[in-house]
A = this chain, B = another copy of it.
Amino acid sequence: MVERLAIVGVGLIGGSFALAARAAGLVREVVGFGRRRANLELALERGAIDRRADTLADAAADADVIMLAAPVGACIDLARALRPAARPDALLTDVGSVKASLVTGLEDVWGAARVVGAHPIAGSEQTSIAAARADLFRNRRCVLTPTGRTAPDALALVRRLWEGVGAVVETMDAARHDELLARVSHAPHLIAYALVDAVSASADGAAALALAGSGFADTTRIAASAPALWRDIALANAPAVRAALAEFRTTLATVEEALARGDGVALEALMERARRARARLGGA
């Protein structure tokens, strides 16, 4: 059991982890820190945290594990600010959607042995503690990205915590994680934003959106995600995201060429291959 867990950023992910970890008896005390006081009050009310830290130093003090559940772009500065007040052996982990550049930065700031990068594949376009729930990670994947410098006991503890909240844990090289996530998450977010913007900013955009059905709503749901978050993720993983977008554009060009020459056979073949791949995913 972890004596004291500090969660920096008690939103959907941090709040859900806190609820789940407490429900599973994995932690004795959870201290929460965040920018918005109302958010932390709600976290207290919902039983996600035991107490609110007023400063980063207060959050770090005597914590065994510190979880950064803040936007990717803020994590390294937060780690730097937490370090002086934290115990030398405090374990620092995060939940960021990008791993390579972030984990390297955290290692530099924190001391590499006690840093474990993690990315639970869960969440939605909502980011608030109001949407948090203890079963958010149940049967969802959580990727850990230890490096050659990670202490084995630190990795083992973070694995135990995520398995304890129901996640299916796997370890992976951070660069590989980032390439795979660029394809199934980072690039699709940019595609969704671009699609909404292309329609809404076009002549007659409002008329077009008035005729949007549930298909368009599904396809663009992630464009309701917080822009600052996804801006940082895209920038932090820019080479892999650009490669994924290039892959996508190549396939889209194939579709457009088939359409231009009226080639229903080629169109349907590509669609059918995609349909089968999509069917294997399920509703997720």
Contacts and interface: CB of A to CB of B under 8 A. Distances in A.
A187 to B, nearest CB: 8
Interface residues of A, number: 93
Contacts of A194: 248, 251-252, 254-255, 270, 274
A158 interface: no
Contacts of A52: none
Q: How many copies does the complex hold?
A: 2
Contact of A184 (B197, B209, B277): B209
A213 interface: yes
Nearest to A250: B198
A117 interface: no
A42 interface: no
Contacts of A200: 273-274, 277
Interface in A187-230: 188-202, 204-205, 207-228, 230
Contact of A196 (B215, B227, B277): B277
Nearest to A272: B227
A3 interface: no
Contact of A217 (B211, B216, B275, B281): B281
Given A195-B248, A248-B198, A278 B227 contact: no
Contacts of A210: 141
Given A217-B284, A224-B279, A274 B196 contact: yes
Contacts of A205: 277
A46 interface: no
A231 B121 contact: no
A117 to B, nearest CB: 15
Nearest to A221: B218
A190 B282 CA distance: 19
Contact of A220 (B213, B262, B278): B278
Given A141-B211, A184-B212, A193 B281 contact: no
Interface in A160-210: 177, 179-181, 183-185, 188-202, 204-205, 207-210
Given A180-B211, A195-B251, A245-B259, 10 more contacts: A123-B213, A184-B209, A194-B270, A196-B278, A197-B270, A197-B273, A209-B277, A217-B283, A217-B284, A223-B274
